[in-house]
Amino acid sequence: MLNVALTKGRLEEDTMELLKNRGYGIEEWESKGRQLILQDRKKNVRYFLVKSADCLTYVEHGVADVGVVGSDVMEEYGGDYYDMLDMDIGICKFVVAMPKGKEANYESGHLKIGTKYPNVATKFFKGKGFDVEIVKIEGSVELGPILGLCDAIVDITETGTTLKENGLTIVDEVFDINAKLIVNKASFRIKREQVMAFIDDLKGE
C-alpha cells in the first residue's frame, strides 16, 4: 500500500481532482466528514490529510511514502527527501509588498520585514545584500505594515488581490511557487514500482 500525505486545503482538493481524472477511486474523500485517513476505492493507496509543514515530517520519517506539498514550505523548512515531480497546481509566488506610496523606501536603508517565512525572507535579502530585520508573524501578515510593526512583508500571493485590498503594492518578486510531489528515500527503494506508477499517474503519462 502506498501512503500519501496531502496538504490540507486547496492542494488537497486540486490533487484529488487530478487523481479522480486519472482513474483513482476518491469516493471516500468526496463524502468525508472530519476523517483524516482515507482509503482509495480502486487503487491500493491511502491518503492522510495533514498541515503543510507536517507533510515534510511524515515523508521524511517514511510514515508517508509520498507527499504533496508547496515548494514554499519545502524552501522554508528544508528536510531530507526526494523532490521528484513539479505539479501544475498550487501556483502562486512569494513577493515583497509595502504600503502604497512608500515604495521608494524599499532600497534605502534598514528595513523591518514581517513574514510567516523567516528563512525564505532571510535568504532572499541576504542574496540581495539588503540590511533587514525579520519579524515572524503567524497570520494576517498584511496588518504588519499597516499598523506600523514593520516596513514590508514577504508573503505568498496568487492574484495580489488581498494585498491590494489592504493598501499594499508588490515591490519585488522572491520566487515562483508550485506544488511538488516529494518521496521518502527508503520508500523510493522499497516501493519503487508503486511510487513511480503514482508519479506517472500524476504526470498523466
Partner 1 sequence: MKEYSIPPGARDLVGKECKKKKALQRTIEDFMKSWGYEEVMTPSIEFYKTFQTGFARLLEEEIFKFFNNHGRILTLRMDMTIPIARMVNTRFKNVEKPLRFMYAANVFRVQKEMALKQHELTDCGLELIGKGGKDGDLEVLTCALELLKRLGLQNFTMELGNIALFQSACDGSSLDRKEVKNLTKLVARKSLKELGEYVEGLDISKEAKSFFIELPLLCGGVDVVKYVKYLCFNQGMEDAIDEMEGLLGDLEDLGYLDLISIDFGKLPRMDYYTGLLFESYVKGVGGSILSGGRYDALLEKFGEAKPAIGFSIKLDDLMNLVPYEDEEESFTVIYGEGEIRVGIKELLELQRDGRSGVLEERAGTKGVEVVSNRGGKC
Interaction site with partner 1 (CB under 8 A): 57, 60-63, 80-86, 183-186, 188-190, 192
Q: How far is the CB of 95 from partner 1 (least distance, A)?
A: 21
Q: How far is the CB of 148 from partner 1 (least distance, A)?
A: 33
The span from the CA of 55 to the CA of 83, in Å, is 13
Q: How far is the CB of 172 from partner 1 (least distance, A)?
A: 22
Cβ atoms within 10 Å of 190's Cβ, excluding its own: 12
Question: Which sign does the torsion angle of CA 70, 74, 80, 86 carry?
Answer: positive
Q: How far is the CB of 143 from partner 1 (least distance, A)?
A: 28
The span from the CA of 170 to the CA of 153, in Å, is 9
- CA angle (44 as vertex; 38, 49 as ends), nearest 5: 25
Cβ atoms within 10 Å of 108's Cβ, excluding its own: 7
Judged by beta carbon, residue 82 or residue 106, the one nearer partner 1 is 82
Q: How far is the CB of 125 from partner 1 (least distance, A)?
A: 19
Secondary structure (3-state) at 41: coil
Ramachandran area for residue 90 (φ above 0: left; ψ -120 to 50: alpha; else beta) = left
**Element (H or E) spanning 67, and its range?**
strand 66-70
